[in-house]
Amino acid sequence: MNVPSQFRCSILSIRIDLNRSPSGDTVRPMVCSAITLSLATVAGVISVALLGIAFGTDNWMYIRVDRKQIQEDIASGAGSLSEADQERFESSGLFRSRTQGLFRTCYPETKPKGVELYLSPVETYCENIDYYIPDEENLTKSFSEERMARLHMARSMIALFIAAFFFVFVAFWTGVTGCWRRSPGNIGTTAALMLFACLFSAGSMGLWHGVQYYEQKKLNEAPFYQSWPPLLQERSVTVFDWSYFIAWVGVGWVLVSALLFVGASVCLKREMYSEKRRNLPYIMPVYPTKSSNGGYGPNPGYAYAASYSQPGPYYSGQQYAYNY
Question: pLDDT for 96-152, tens place per residue?
Answer: 999 999 999 999 988 888 788 998 888 789 999 999 988 888 889 989 999 999 999
Residue 269, pLDDT above cutoff 90: no
Residue 202, pLDDT above cutoff 80: yes
CATH of segment(s) 30-278: 1.20.140.150
Tell me which residue of 97, 23, 13 sits closest to 61, measured CA to CA: 97
Please state, in angstroms and rounded to a whole number, the distance separating the CA atoms of residues 263 and 38. Answer: 11
Residue 4's pLDDT band, with cuts at 50, 70 and 90, is very low
More reliable by pLDDT, 107 or 310: 107
Residue 298's pLDDT band, with cuts at 50, 70 and 90, is low
Residue 316's pLDDT band, with cuts at 50, 70 and 90, is very low
More reliable by pLDDT, 4 or 60: 60
Residue 293, pLDDT above cutoff 60: no
Please state, in angstroms and rounded to a whole number, the distance separating the CA atoms of residues 135 and 155. Answer: 13
More reliable by pLDDT, 287 or 157: 157
Residue 292, pLDDT above cutoff 60: no
Long-range contacts of 109-115 (CB under 8 A, 24+ apart): 110/67, 115/91
Q: What is the pLDDT of residue 285?
A: 57
Helix (H) or strand (E) segment spanning residue 283:
helix 242-283
Region label for 114, one of left (φ > 0), alpha (ψ between -120 and 50) or beta (otherwise): left
Sorted by where each begins, the domain ranges of the chain are 30-278
Angle at 321 between CA 320 and CA 324, to 5 degrees: 150
Tell me which residue of 266, 261, 50 sits closest to 172, measured CA to CA: 261
Residue 73, pLDDT above cutoff 50: yes
| Predicted confidence (pLDDT) per residue in 160-197, tens digit | 999 999 999 999 999 888 888 888 889 999 999 999 99
